[in-house]
């Protein structure tokens, strides 16, 4: 994770009360011309050097406090990947990343090849949301495996949150969704677009829906992929959703003859491994994939839960889980699982700005959790347990609540056309969330991909549906029949892959 050494000096206790109100649509007085945004040729590089794309990049200066235009200012990193056609459509597609805490460039440059069909007729616009990427990144150290480590106490979570706050280069109260949608509209105006389409993935769906709420005349359509509906407070049910998706993946294996024959005791193996690691962590030696030097590491229950959770996000990585679990349970070889945990942890550390992430969840989620209705017994029995919820409660007890528009958590009632995509085995945003969001749009279509996980945009079928939806500007009559022909990745039966 990038380290920031500048210190945020505002007192914490006085800010930990109600969220600060923010009235949308008042970014500038009536008649004020759009802020200046000059673009220059640039290249967007794939993070692993696999590809690069021509674009036009610039920076838009906006107030850090949206209600104080004379105060401190920050820069938003903006990139426009121009349409291939010389007769491009006037309404671009804005790409909104997830997390919360991921920058748009990091999230979407690896997907540019998949977006070629859409880019043929439309500009693609990437705005690193304030606090992420290159837009005054609010980064700090926050070990991901702590969320599943039962030995991490509430006091330790509070201490980590305080250390994170001390490292931030800005005031975290102003890095929420309500501020971000005003930034998006400022970018839209500065680029001269009358109306825009928005694609949001995961947390980005919250941003897209709130933009449609606050700027309905500017939103031509929204594509919501792996959806967080407006009234949802994430955190309370995350462990239960992750458990349901994992058990669903095990059920898919049991219903697949080759997988069932190869791994007949999969659920029992998983439970035994979890109990064993909770009692006694395992020392593992891993070979660095670049330097090939051996590294000793301790593989804990927290590392195990992190690896399992993140591998569950995609059917492609979930197809590895039975093999990795069997290797650990039957042969005592924890190295493959430990290697996956290390890779996942490294990717998270590099991609998420935890200061911005915490600003969002401590303003828009934790204060609205109905913990009294939770099935605590089921939560304790899940492989993530209560640690994630307890960690959020502890962290947010010291984190300042930020700006939030009036009505932010109200159900939507929108005339903006919406296409919603979901995977039936999504461990964090199950299809029921998308169904709840679809009810807020008068013109909508929900497409569920069987046995798929989180984020569907990488599927050729999803890309075709999105392209046709954008062209039509309505979900009515949209042909999504290809979704019924999409198959999940086959399970690995050995380290050589699946059966022929």
**Range name among 127-131, 298-302, 479-483 with the lowest pLDDT average:** 298-302
Domains of the chain: 1-24+37-500 (3.40.50.1820)
- Residue 288 tokens read as 């660095």
Rounded to an integer, what distance in angstroms lies between the CA atom of residue 157 and that of residue 441? 39
pLDDT at 488 over 80: yes
CA atoms within 13 Å, Cβ hemisphere of 15:
20
Q: Give pLDDT, residue 388.
A: 83
CA–CA gap between residue 409 and residue 363 (Å, rounded): 11
- C-alpha 124/C-alpha 119 separation (Å) is 6
At 237 the pLDDT is 87
Task: Let me know: does 126 contact 53? Beta carbons within 8 Å.
Answer: no
The per-residue pLDDT for range 413-458, each reduced to its tens digit, is 999 999 999 999 999 999 999 999 999 999 999 999 999 999 999 9
Q: Is 388 helix (H, G, I), strand (E, B) or coil?
A: helix
Is residue 195 predicted with pLDDT exceeding 90?
A: yes
CA distance 284 to 35: 55
Of the ranges 159-168, 175-184, 298-307, which one carries the lowest mean pLDDT score?
298-307
168 φ/ψ angles, rounded to the nearest 5 degrees = -80, 145
Task: Indicate the pLDDT class of residue 14, thresholds 50, 70 and 90.
Answer: very low
SS (H, E, C) 196-215: EEEEEECHHHHHHHHHHHHC
Residue 275, exposed/middle/buried by CB under 10 A (0-12, 13-18, 19+)? Answer: exposed
In contact, 119 and 83? CB cutoff 8 Å? yes
- Provide CB contacts within 8 A for 246, sequence distance 6+: 270, 308, 312, 383, 427
pLDDT of residue 348: 57
Residue 140 tokens read as 């700090």
The tokens for 320 are 């590895």
Is residue 213's pLDDT more than 60? yes
Alpha carbons 63 and 389: distance in angstroms, whole number: 33
pLDDT at 500 over 90: no
Pairing outcome for strands 444-449 and 52-63 = unpaired
Q: How far apart are CA 223 and CA 471, in angstroms?
A: 12
Matching residue, tokens 């999940």 = 488
Cis before 100 (ω within 30): yes
**Residue 436, pLDDT score:** 98
The band of 247, judged by pLDDT with boundaries at 50, 70 and 90, is: very high
pTM above 0.95, yes or no: no
pLDDT of residue 147: 59
Is residue 410 within 8 A of residue 231, CB to CB? The reply is yes
Distance CA 427, CA 451 (A): 11
Q: Cβ-count burial of 482 within 10 angstroms (0-12 exposed, 13-18 middle, 19+ buried)?
A: middle
Q: Give percent of the chain above pLDDT 90.
A: 72
Which residue, 93, 56, 140, is CA-closest to 354? 140
DSSP state, 15?
G
Averaged over 91-116, what is the pLDDT? 94
Average pLDDT, the chain: 89
Contact 315, 451 (CB under 8 A): yes
Gyration radius (Cα) of the chain, Å: 22
**pLDDT tens digits for 339-387?**
887 776 666 556 789 999 999 999 999 999 987 777 889 988 999 988 8
Q: Is the pLDDT of residue 49 over 90?
A: no
- Residue 132: pLDDT band with limits 50, 70, 90: very high
Which residues, in sequence order, are CB contacts of 221 under 8 Å at separation 6+? Answer: 197, 198, 416, 417, 418, 419, 469, 470, 473, 474
Strand partners, 283: 298
Cα–Cα dist 500/494, whole Å: 12
Q: Which residue has the tokens 């093999």?
A: 323
Q: What is the DSSP letter of 456?
A: -
pLDDT of residue 441: 98
Task: Give the largest Cα separation in the chain, rounded.
Answer: 71
Q: Which residue has the tokens 């009234």?
A: 231
Tokens of 419: 């296409």
3-state helix, strand, coil in the chain (%, to 5): 40, 15, 45
């Amino acid at each position: 994770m990038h380290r920031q050494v500048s210190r945020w000096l505002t007192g914490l206790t006085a800010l930990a009360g109600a969220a600060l109100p923010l009235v949308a649509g008042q970014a500038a007085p009536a008649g004020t011309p759009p802020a200046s945004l000059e673009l220059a040729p640039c290249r967007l590089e794939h993070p692993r050097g696999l590809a690069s794309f021509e674009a036009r990049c610039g920076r838009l200066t906006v107030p850090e406090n949206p209600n104080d235009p004379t105060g401190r200012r920050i820069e938003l990193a903006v990139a426009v990947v121009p349409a291939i056609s010389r007769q491009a459509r006037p309404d671009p597609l804005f790409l909104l990343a997830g997390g919360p805490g991921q920058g748009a460039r990091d999230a979407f440059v690896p997907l540019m090849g998949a977006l070629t069909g859409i880019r043929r007729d439309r500009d693609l616009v990437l705005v690193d949301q304030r606090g992420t990427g290159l837009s005054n990144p609010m980064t700090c150290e926050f070990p991901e495996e702590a969320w599943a480590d039962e030995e991490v106490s509430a006091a330790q979570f509070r201490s980590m949150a305080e250390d994170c706050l001390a490292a931030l280069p800005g005031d975290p109260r102003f890095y929420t969704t309500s501020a971000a949608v005003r930034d998006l509209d400022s970018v839209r105006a500065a680029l001269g677009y009358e109306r825009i389409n928005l694609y949001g993935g995961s947390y980005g769906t919250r941003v897209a829906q709130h933009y449609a709420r606050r700027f309905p005349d500017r939103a031509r359509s929204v594509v919501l992929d792996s959806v967080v509906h407006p009234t949802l407070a994430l955190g309370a049910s995350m462990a239960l959703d992750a458990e349901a998706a994992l058990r669903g993946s095990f059920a898919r294996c049991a219903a697949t003859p080759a997988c069932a024959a190869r791994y007949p005791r999969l659920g029992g193996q998983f439970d035994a491994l979890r109990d064993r690691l909770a009692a006694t962590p395992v020392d593992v030696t891993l070979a660095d994939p670049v330097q090939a030097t051996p590294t000793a590491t301790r593989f804990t229950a927290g590392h195990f839960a992190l690896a399992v959770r993140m591998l569950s996000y995609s059917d492609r990585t979930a197809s590895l889980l039975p093999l990795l679990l069997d290797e650990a349970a039957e042969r005592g070889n924890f190295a493959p699982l430990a290697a996956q945990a290390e890779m996942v942890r490294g990717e998270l550390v590099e991609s998420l700005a935890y200061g911005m992430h915490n600003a969002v969840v401590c303003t828009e989620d934790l204060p609205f959790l109905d913990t009294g209705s939770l099935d605590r017994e089921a939560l304790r029995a899940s492989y993530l347990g209560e640690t994630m919820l307890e960690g959020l409660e502890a962290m947010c007890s010291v984190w300042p609540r930020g700006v939030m528009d009036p009505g932010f958590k109200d159900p939507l009632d929108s005339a903006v056309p919406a296409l919603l995509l979901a995977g039936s085995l999504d461990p964090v945003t199950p299809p029921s969330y998308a169904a709840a969001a679809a009810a807020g749009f008068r013109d909508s279509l929900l497409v569920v991909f069987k046995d798929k996980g989180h984020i569907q945009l990488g599927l050729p079928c999803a890309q075709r549906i999105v392209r046709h939806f954008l062209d039509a500007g309505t979900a009515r009559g949209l042909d999504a029949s290809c979704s019924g022909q999409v198959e999940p990745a086959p399970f690995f039966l050995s380290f050589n892959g699946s059966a022929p």
